[in-house]
Each structure stands twice: as C-alpha cells, then as structure tokens.
Amino acid sequence: MHGGSCLCGTVRYEIRGDLGAAYFCHCSRCRKASGSAFAANVVVDGDDFAIVAGADAIGRYRSSPMLVREFCTRCGSPLASRRDGVNQVRVRMGTLDTPQARCPGAHIFVASKADWFEIHDDLPQHADRPA
C-alpha cells in the first residue's frame, strides 16, 4: 500500500494496489499545473485509489475536453488527474508519502517541453504520448 497527501495535509489518499508506469510529462498543461518544467506522474488503477481524508477539500478543473485535474482547495497542491472513460488515476509523485524505490522511466510530450529546460538523463523521450 502507498499513501500520499497534499502540502497542508488536509487531503490524504491511499493506493491499495501496484503502481503502474511512471513518467515525466512536459506538456504545457502539466507545466502550468505544476508550475515547473514537468510533472512527475505515476499511473494507478482507479479502483486502487481512495481518498481517506479531506474529500470535501478536493477541487476539480477540466483542463482539456477529456482530462480533469484534482487539487487541494486549501493549499493548492496538484494531486491527480483523470481521463474520461479510463479507469486510471495519474497521481503526482511529489504527493506520495511512502518511499519509492523507482523513478519515472520516460519523458513524454517533449515536443512541447519548456525551452529553458534541458533533459540530461538517458531515459527514453517521446514527442507526445507513447502508443
């Protein structure tokens, strides 16, 4: 089991299953939502993701026709995103409280990465979403 929370601790969640693929997303929406050069995300099964505290403090914003982003309305921490019609949650890895032995395995949407950021690792790079 994995646990996580927002910056102020109001929202807490559990992941009651395995973590899926993890990646660094460089799309312009993730950059805006994170306030950084990229967002570090991990995919989890929607049935394994549970809010255990602070559900009333979760705000939602539809950032594209198919994607809703969730955040804490008290401290502003981005927590997760959900794609319509897909039973997955993309959790912001920076909100995980349990130690992680692995890091993201790829960079995605590098075609729209910040021009002021250079990637200096050997991870695979995908121009957009990998197939």
Boundaries of every domain in the chain = 2-112
DSSP secondary structure string for all residues of the chain: -EEEE-TTSS-EEEE-S----EEEE--HHHHHHHTSS-EEEEEEEGGGEEEEE-GGGEEEEEEETTEEEEEETTT--EEEEEETT--EEEEEGGGB-S--S-----EE-GGG--TT----S-S-B-SS---
Nearest to 10 by CA among 60, 64, 76: 76
- Distances from the Cα of 75 to the Cα of 16, 35, 37, 54, 83, angstroms: 25, 14, 20, 12, 23
Both tokens of residue 61?
């914003």
Per-residue pLDDT of the chain (131 residues; tens, 9 = 90+): 999 999 999 999 999 999 999 999 999 999 999 999 999 999 999 999 999 999 999 999 999 999 999 999 999 999 999 999 999 999 999 999 998 877 899 999 999 999 999 999 999 999 988 76
Pairing state between β 22-25 and 107-108: parallel
pTM of the model: 0.90
pLDDT of residue 65: 92
Domain 2-112 = CATH 3.50.50.60: no
pLDDT of residue 130: 78
pLDDT of residue 112: 94
Q: CA 20 to CA 104: how far, in whole Å?
A: 10
Between vectors from CA 74 to CA 68 and to CA 76, what angle results, nearest 5°? Answer: 50
